[in-house]
Structure 1
Amino acid sequence: MIQRIHLEILQALAEKGTLGEAANALFLTQSALSHSIKKLEDQLNTTLWEKQGRGLRLTPSGEHLLQVSHTVLPQLAQAEAVLRALGEGRRGKLRIGMECHPCYEWLLTVVQPYLQRWPDVDLDVVQRFRFNGLEALEQHQIDVLITSDPVLKEPLVHVPVLQYELRLVVGNTHALAERTTVSASALSTEHLITFPVARERLDVFTQFLLPRGVEPRQHQEIEAMDIMIQLVAARRGVCTLPDWLAERYQAQYPIQHLRLGDAGVFKTLYLVYREADSGLAYLADFVRAGAISEAVKSQS
């Protein structure tokens, strides 16, 4: 039957390209590697690879098993990490995924004291803004998702950690800088700068512009937040940021921030994790620290 080593062999072959390099990566001999796959092929009555020149090419069966390995191996690795953490009490690895740029700024406010409390817990941050965080969480590729777009789905737990208002940021000398609020129609003549995220996940579009049938004059994507703020300060465009982040940058750059519409656009940042992992002390402490940070902010 299919064993972990079979999945590791296919991944190593796909990454290294040759049987010899794959064997070296797995600390196996070529003959042992070939024998292991040949035995599985005989059991399943299929072929997983075939020779192509000096190298090997995966067959459709091999490609399918390779795709299975991308899901199963991370799950096995996570299961081992959980068992080790449970066995050792304070050891483990916390993998945090983020779906938004401001998520990273929030994380910086809580991560340092957390690392001091848990010196034996490794921390890994997946900061990819076009990935499917919910899928990564369900497939055990991450342990905690930081998102402002929760999908209330069992058996996932959603903990609110930060409530904020989305604000329009403009340069001090911009024509809108004297206002306290801005209408959607006012942005029809503006150069709007956003992070490189699909429109259906940008709140300025989904909750402000599109419901009112408004398009900005120009839309530009920028990944570096500091560059975005400098462009705005130079009146090269406008952008939106959470209020707490806009206030932080206002102390450094000549910018102002305004309310989007009379009612404003309000959002909540969530930590999402698998309910089955609730017993992990180091994960529970990270979530609790995030919730406490919001409680302190609300009282200040």
Structure 2
Amino acid sequence: MNLQRKHLELIQALQTSETLAAAATKLHMTPSALSHQLGELEERVGLAVVNRKAKPLHLTAAGKRLFETAQDILPRFDRLEADLTRQVKGLGGRLSIAIDCHSCYLWLLPTLDQFRRQWPDVELDLSGGFSFDSLQALAAGDLDFVITADPEPLNGITYIPLFQYESMLILPLDHPLSQVEEIQPAMLKEQTLIIYPVPPRKMDIFRLFLRPADIEPAHIRHSELTVMMVALVASGRGLCSLPNWAADEYIDRNFVTARSLGQGIFNTLHAAVREESLQLTYMQDFLLLAKDLPFSTLKGIARPA
């Protein structure tokens, strides 16, 4: 049938006009051009869409069905054109963000708030990376910005370092390891480790501390929420590992204590972005905020080397 936007606009004009001539005026067409387009539409539909003999004009059942569709679809076209125009001018667009590191929400909130103030026409969306591969989704165009501590080489993806942090071992206040001067991998062999529901290879404590020493904890328990992980640790149900800046709040309130892993396990948080997105002004501004604001809100982080 191959109906086009112009056909829906024609139906909309006919519904709101008393004569073909009036409809032609609304569409900035001559009456003969409108009659030709109307004939083309009815040929494609296979039915009459307007009763030409009625005074005023009256849509047929088929015409009314087309008008209902026009009411739904034409505003979508208008919004699409407006959105694309804003993107071309660099005034708006979409910024869909995923977080791979799972304890990043706290530091990100001031960045999101400041960005919304500066770019109110950019649509923000935020999701966690528990149930899907966020970097692959970024490469496929389903996401626009991924925060990760585990960069993977992918074609078309650029990684921008944000800040460096230390991964700490979080323990109950009365745990025997809290008295140990330097935590060694073998000391965790009999422990229960509480982690986010992601593959262990994505966790700093496994990738940078335990696995190089060929050590696995006795048990692994999962929790999606940082605060729940800390509560489990405080109640003696296991140990966990958190970035130093994420652990500070709970340590300062004397809920738990922390120790360095070995002589210190340090990693860098990165922003992953498609290369073509770096040309967008709002993306450049978001990156600047993500790189600068954490140093005024977080303790224990450092500029990337």
Check whether TM > 0.5: yes
Q: 2: distance between equivalents of 1:252 and 1:208?
A: 27
Paired with 1:148 and 1:188, the residues of 2 have a C-alpha distance of 25
Does the Cα contact within 8 Å between 2:83 and 2:92 map onto a contact in 1?
no
Aligned residues of 2:107 and 2:294 also touching (Cα < 8 A) = no
Q: Within 5 Å, which residues of 2 pair with 1:59-208?
A: 83-208=84-209
Query: Is 2:103–2:226's contact at 8 Å kept on the other side of the alignment?
Result: no
Contact (CA 8 Å) 2:163, 2:302: kept in 1 or not?
no
Question: What is the alpha-carbon distance in structure 2 between the residues aligned to residue 272 and residue 243 of structure 1?
Answer: 22
Over aligned residues, Cα RMSD in angstroms?
2.8
- What CA distance in whole angstroms lies between the structure 1 residues aligned with 2:166 and 2:186? 20
Stretch of structure 1 that moved more, 234-243 or 245-254: 245-254
Instruction: Give the conservation status (yes or no) of the 8 Å contact 1:103–1:147.
Output: no
Cross-structure match for 1:285: 285
Aligned pairs, how many? 226
CA drift at 1:139: 1.2
Where structure 1 has 5 or more consecutive residues not aligned to the other structure, the ranges are 3-34, 37-78
Name the CA distance, whole Å, in 2 between partners of 1:136 and 1:256: 37
Alpha-carbon shift at residue 295 of structure 1 (Å): 5.7
Instruction: Indicate if the aligned counterparts of 2:97 and 2:126 stay in contact, CA closer than 8 A.
Output: yes
Structure 1 counterpart of 2:269: 269
Identify if the C-alpha distance between structure 1 residues 272 and 179 changes in structure 2 by more than 3 Å, giving closer, same or farther.
same
Q: Deviations over 1:198-250 (max 9, x none)?
A: 12212211221122122212111111211110111112111000011111221
In structure 2, list runs of 5 or more residues that go unmatched: 3-43, 46-79
Instruction: Spell out the pairing of 1:236-247 with structure 2 (5 A cutoff).
Output: 236-247=237-248
Paired residue type of 1:280: L
What CA deviation, in whole Å up to 9, does each residue of 1:80-111 have, x standing for no partner?
A: 89833333432222111122211323322421
Q: Which amino acid aligns with 1:232?
A: V
Distance in 1 (CA, whole Å) between partners of 2:302 and 2:208 is 24
* Alpha carbons of structure 1 residues 228 and 130: separation in structure 2 relative to 1, 3 Å: same
Larger CA Rg, structure 1 vs 2: 2
How far did residue 164 of structure 1 move? 0.5
TM-score, normalised relative to structure 2: 0.67
Distance change (3 Å), C-alpha of 1:282 and 1:221? same
Structure 2: which amino acid aligns with 1:130? S
1:184–1:212 CA contact under 8 A, matched in 2:
yes
Letter in 2 for 1:129: F
The code of the aligned residue for 1:84 comes to T
Residues 220 and 277 (structure 1), Cα distance of their counterparts in 2 relative to 1, 3 Å cut: same
TM-score when normalising by structure 1: 0.68
Identity %: 33
Q: Tell me the secondary structure at the aligned position of residue 176 of structure 2.
A: coil
Q: Indicate if the aligned counterparts of 1:152 and 1:158 stay in contact, CA closer than 8 A.
A: no
Per the alignment, do residues 81 and 268 of structure 1 end up closer, same or farther by CA in structure 2, a change over 3 Å counting?
Answer: farther
Distance 2:123 2:181 in 1: 44
Give the secondary-structure state (helix, strand or coil) at the position aligned to 1:176: helix
Q: What amino acid is aligned across from residue 142 of structure 2 in structure 1?
A: Q
